[in-house]
Structure 1
Amino acid sequence: MAAAERVRLTYAFDPYCPWCYGFGPALRSFTQDNAHRIRLRIRLRIRPAGLYTGARARPVSAYPRTAEECERVTRLTGVGFGAGFAQALTDGTTVADSTAAAAGLAVLYSRADEVGVPHLDAAEAVQMAWFVDGRSLADPEVYRDIADGLGLDASLVTAAYASPAPWEQARADFRALRRLRVTTYPTLLLHTAHGAGRLGGAASTAASLTAALNQCLAPAFPRPSFTPPPVSQGELS
């Protein structure tokens, strides 16, 4: 391996996907565990998916098995879901709209780049707004509050959210993931000269992700490992 090999990763997730929320701690630990490797420079791009667009952007009451699915996520990953989220499921009126959430992420990413806030911090904050607090990710005030928490200019964030640009970026991100043939979430892709290959699955640990990365980078294993997900994932039920 070169003295300073650059590794490019794409993380595809949807803010309304409970399996993506469950995968979050493993991804966070994986990036931290590998951040200071002298011979490795990792670039992680986080793209939102379009799970709930068009006819699928419906009130959560249209997906009655969500609570059951979240219990399964907790059993496999250990993450907890908040009381606000439980109440939102009981009310059932919040619309799962992935385009609105992706537009909010686009605004947060843009402002985060200006002050050096990692995109992963913004993505996690958006997930927590839904899975902990039960707030609609189509509410501009969610992004105002997240901006405050991340040290961003909240007024600029909410003003940008009302403009066409982040919505166009959201649709561009959806198209980019389709070109990569990503159809389930969460998906962590490693890009090499041979193409993009998947590392692990929804229930992967940070250690297993690092082991898979090391195997893909080893001379004896030049191609990325395509690992099928161990569980059904990537949508409200």
Structure 2
Amino acid sequence: MELVYVFDAYCGWSHGFSGTLSEVVARRPDLPVEAVSGGLFTGSRRMPIRMFGHVQGANAQIAELTGAEFGEAYERLIEDGSFVMDSEAAARGLAALRAAAPDRAVDLAVELQRVFYVDGLSLSDPATYRKIAEGAGLDADAVVTVFESPEAKAAAEADFHRAAELGVIGFPTFLAVDGDQAIELALGRGTADEIEARLAAAGIR
């Protein structure tokens, strides 16, 4: 049995779920947790942020419901409107960080979301992964090298395939997975107490 967090680093609701995720992981140190990139903004959905007119309203709702922080640097990105969200690059970044510290994948996924939504950093920029790696005490040169490698691209594609195999249709999706069986614990948002109740209902104590 493992927990699987399927998210997109450019999804505001995934950012809003960070607090719940961290609390569940802290409560359940006995359960391994897999962090999987879902690939929200790929292909034709890679476009300037101004094309997503609902962003500011959605962020206000996310902040109200989850307490998530949206920083001034990120707000400036929205005001400018030219920034292009590329989930394939973000997935390569997660793959590089995950390769450096597989047992810290969830914490690194949360940090990936934070540096975009609070610090306004591009998840396509190798310097962003250098900053995250240095902050986490990882080998920054190695992380950047992996981020720019074909292996990271393959890992990103594998993540997107994994998300599809799990039947994920929205982000974030939090699952309990045992072999071929997947139990949905949260979709979009949820509290740690709600997730604990669903785990208990599934006989996972």
For normalisation by structure 1, the TM-score amounts to 0.83
Whether 2:76 is the aligned partner of 1:87: answer yes
Match of 1:4 in 2: none
- C-alpha distance in 2 between matches for 1:93 and 1:84: 14
**Cα distance per residue 1:4-52 (max 9 Å; x no partner):** xxx31111000000001001101111111222xxxxx301101011100
- Between the two proteins, the alignment pairs up a number of residues equal to 205
The structure 1 segments of at least 4 consecutive aligned residues displaced by more than 2 Å after TM superposition are 200-203
Which of these two proteins has the greater Rg computed from alpha carbons?
1
Match of 2:9 in 1: 15
Whether 2:24 is the aligned partner of 1:30: answer yes
**Percent identical across equivalent pairs?**
35
- C-alpha distance in 2 between matches for 1:181 and 1:193: 14
Match of 1:51 in 2: 40
**Cα distance per residue 1:78-112 (max 9 Å; x no partner):** 11210011001111121110000000100000011
Q: How does 1:197-216 map to 2 (within 5 A)?
A: 197-216=183-202
Unaligned runs of 5+ residues in structure 1 are 1-6, 36-40, 220-237
AA in 2 matched with 1:207: D
Which of 124, 136, 139 aligns to 1:153? It is 139
Match of 1:164 in 2: 150
What is the CA RMSD across the aligned residues, in angstroms?
1.5
Match of 1:227 in 2: none
- C-alpha distance in 1 between matches for 2:97 and 2:179: 31
SS in 2 for 1:199: strand
* Bigger proportion of residues as helix: 2
CA shift, 1:55, in A, is: 0.4
| Contact 2:74/2:119 (<8 A) preserved | yes
- C-alpha distance in 2 between matches for 1:218 and 1:25: 21
SS in 1 for 2:6: strand
| Contact 2:13/2:188 (<8 A) preserved | yes
- C-alpha distance in 2 between matches for 1:142 and 1:125: 11
Match of 1:64 in 2: 53
- C-alpha distance in 1 between matches for 2:202 and 2:34: 19
